[in-house]
Each structure stands twice: as C-alpha cells, then as structure tokens.
Amino acid sequence: MASPGKKAFPLRLDPALYKALERTAAADFRSVNAQVEVLLREALARRGIRVESSEPARRGRPPRTENE
C-alpha cells in the first residue's frame, strides 16, 4: 500500500537491473523503492529539473494532549 500522497504504479524492470538496485539500496540502508526515488531525483537534478520533496511521513507516537 502506498503512503498518502504517493503515486503507486507498476514498473517492469530487467531482473539484472533490479538486482543492482537491491545491492545499492542495501548499501545505502534503503528500500528498493526509496532507492529508485533517490536515483530518479538525482537524474532529474543533473538535467536541471528540481523536484520539491513532500513532507516526510510522521513516525512514532502522536504528541500527548492536555487531557492525558
């Protein structure tokens, strides 16, 4: 399931390319999906296209309210 605000779509890759992505993702402590996103942003930046990052998902417990 995609995170809110993320666009999900099927992507077919050559198995050798996927294996290379897995290796680089593991070396950078990322998921393959996150690695693909990083590599796409880097490729766009090299072409002079800047993509704004969306706000990262909030993790952990929500802050306490006064009633708690």
Q: Are 34 and 44 in contact (CB under 8 A)?
A: no
pLDDT of residue 4: 65
pLDDT of residue 68: 63
Q: Is the pTM of this model over 0.75?
A: no
pLDDT of residue 3: 61
Q: What percent of the chain has pLDDT over 90?
A: 59
Give the residue ranges of the chain where pLDDT is below 50.
none
Q: Are 32 and 18 in contact (CB under 8 A)?
A: yes
pLDDT of residue 65: 82
